[in-house]
Amino acid sequence: MKQLMKVLSAVALGLFLLPGMLRAQQTLMFSQAEIRDPQLSNAVAARIAVPQGWAFKEQQATWNANTYADPARVVYVLQGPADEVEFASVSQIQYGFNQATLAIMDAMLNMMTGQVAQLCQQTQQMPGAQPVCAQAQAENQRTTQQARQQRAAYVSGQTVDGGMISMQPMWAADFAQWLLRQNREITGIQVKKIEKPRDLMALLGKAVAEVEPQLRQMAAQMNAPLKGISFDVARVEYGYAKGGRRYDGMTLVITQYTTFINNQRMPAGGPDPGYGKEIISWNARVSAASALEGRLRAHEAEITAIAANSAVDPLWQATVEKLAADTSQKINAARSEQQRKMLESEMKHQQKMQQMRQESFDYVNRTRQEVFARRSESLSRASAGWTDAITDRQVWDSGGGKVVLPNDYKYAWQGAGGKIVGSNNPSFNPNRSSDYSGDWQEMSKSSRFD
């Protein structure tokens, strides 16, 4: 569920902390930068907190209405002024895993093998027909090898099935380490610590419990029983080498899994290997920070400011998801018709197997489009204030808006361009200090619910 991932992401922003991060900090200044989407009239896709001296190394708002394999997401990398410190975030990575498709693959493979065995048995008593058996066995061996390669690709993220990248689900810690192994620029990875934040797990459990009955009812109406919604969280600390130097890194991953049961039988009679199998949609939200070995903790304040004050724009997210859903319906209809014509030219048993797979794909897309389109109201109440409550944050009024700062500051001032300075000194006033220029307004403490 994309909307649930938004809630998970909002919570994760405030939990992207190293142990002991909430110590007293020096005065911190940062500004708000916008990431815009050129595909959508340059609309604002996200607002990112950029600490003083930091700059974007990469920023992108991307989406592809033609496939669920490329969901709407914001990707950015911020680089600090010293110690090669970086903060990176990917708002969503989407995968799917259809066990019905695997069952059909296996059934077709077994069917071909059985047909060859039957053919060879029939030709045993036919003089001169033995070469036919040998030829069929050779062809079956080649086809079997191809089928096994396709199956391996299907479970490892190398295949797009039903508009989603197909990959067997992984736990959050495993996914974090898998991502590290995909980075060909780093070597010598040493995982130092893996932990599962208990507070975050408890909060996410409440969110899932709130939305699951609604989804279960909707899925039942579409003859697609919801088996369940689950999630996982992992914070992984590690070291690695790059360019002859050692670095420390930390990655926070939240994964969410929605499992349906394929309860749609094929129109024709006969075997139905995909019926009753699980169809799993799963996705991940990833944030990571790194710096030269031994220097990551020196940048706790900047990393915290970025994580706690950055967010994807909800209007942009809703707009591009609606565009993707509308386009996908048309593409799916055209694809179904094309495959139907192709199936008509094949043998009857092959037509049946291919039709089973196609209907499974259509079922996945239809279920995702109908179920994922409605669920924001019951989740929006769960996200407000979570970050503040679990990370000891304070909300301040900021010129008609609100901004979150570490709770170590008793006083805060805002200047031009959204610059903010915090202090614990009651007599501090940047308007009277030669270190600050422009007009500064004192901010007042507030609440997300004011």
Backbone angles phi, psi at 17, to 5 degrees: -130, 145
User: What are the pLDDT digits (tens) for 259-280?
Assistant: 888 776 665 555 677 778 888 8
Task: Locate 397 and state its tokens.
Answer: 């009024």
CB 399 within 8 A of CB 256: no
Mean pLDDT of 88-117: 78
Between CA 86 and CA 105 the distance in angstroms is 44
Question: Is the pLDDT confidence value at 10 over 70?
Answer: no
Q: Are 161 and 154 in contact (CB under 8 A)?
A: yes
Structure tokens at 71: 């969901």
Distances in Å between the Cα of 196 and the Cα atoms of 7, 193, 231, 346 are 18, 10, 12, 51
In which band, very low, low, confident or very high, does the pLDDT at 251 lie, cut at 50, 70 and 90?
very high
In sequence order, the 6+-apart residues with CB closer than 8 A to the CB of 298 are: 83, 291
Give, as one character, the DSSP assignment of residue 358: H
- Residue partners of 326: CB distance under 8 A and separation at least 6: 65
Phi and psi torsions of 156, nearest 5°: -120, 15
For the chain, the domains span 2-96+162-387, 102-151, 392-446
Q: How far is Cα 394 from Cα 405, in angstroms, rounded to an integer?
A: 6
Is the pLDDT score of 163 beyond 50? Answer: yes
pLDDT of residue 57: 95
Instruction: Pick the closest to residue 257 from 277, 275, 283 (CA basis).
Output: 283
Q: Which of 14-23, 136-145, 288-297 has the highest mean pLDDT?
A: 288-297
- Over its C-alpha atoms, the chain yields an Rg (Å, rounded) of 27
Beta-bridged to residue 160, according to DSSP, are 165
Question: Is the CB of residue 61 less than 8 Å from the CB of residue 317?
Answer: no
Contact 296, 249 (CB under 8 A): yes
Q: Has residue 27 got a pLDDT over 80? A: no
Give one DSSP letter per residue of 33-45, joined into a string. EEEEEGGGTTEEE
| Residue 278 near residue 261, CB atoms below 8 Å | yes
Q: Is 382 helix (H, G, I), strand (E, B) or coil?
A: helix
Residues 234-249: what's their mean pLDDT?
96
- Vertex 374, ends 368 and 378: CA angle to 5°? 130
Q: What span, in angstroms and rounded, lies between the C-alpha atoms of 117 and 46?
A: 60
Q: Which of 383, 355, 334 is CA-nearest to residue 206?
A: 383
Helix (H) or strand (E) holding 326: helix 314-344
What's the rounded mean pLDDT across residues 426-437? 86
User: What fold does the segment set 2-96+162-387 form as a domain?
Assistant: Protein Transport Mog1p; Chain A (3.40.1000)
- pLDDT tens for 182-230 read 999 999 999 999 998 887 778 777 777 777 777 777 666 656 678 888 8
- Cα separation, 73 vs 63, in Å, equals 7
Cα–Cα–Cα angle for 148, 149, 151, nearest 5°? Answer: 65
Q: What local confidence, expressed as pLDDT, does residue 175 receive?
A: 95
| Of the candidates 209, 422, 212, 195, the residue with the CA atom closest to the CA atom of residue 304 | 422
Tens digits of residue pLDDT in 361-420: 454 445 445 544 444 444 444 444 444 455 556 778 776 677 777 777 788 888 877 788
What is the average per-residue pLDDT within 330-343?
51
Stated pTM of the model = 0.63
Q: Give the 3-state secondary structure of residue 286.
A: strand
Cα 440 from Cα 76, distance rounded (Å): 30
Per-residue model confidence as pLDDT tens digits over 121-132: 766 666 666 676
Q: Give residues with Cβ within 8 angstroms of 371, minimum separation 6.
A: 1, 215, 218, 219, 222, 224
Give the DSSP per-residue string, 184-247.
TT-EEEEEEEEE--HHHHHHHHHHHHHHHHHHHHHHHHTT--EEEEEEEEEEEEEEEEETTEEE
Lowest mean pLDDT among 45-49, 133-137, 288-292, 347-351: 347-351
Copy the structure tokens of residue 261. 């049961």
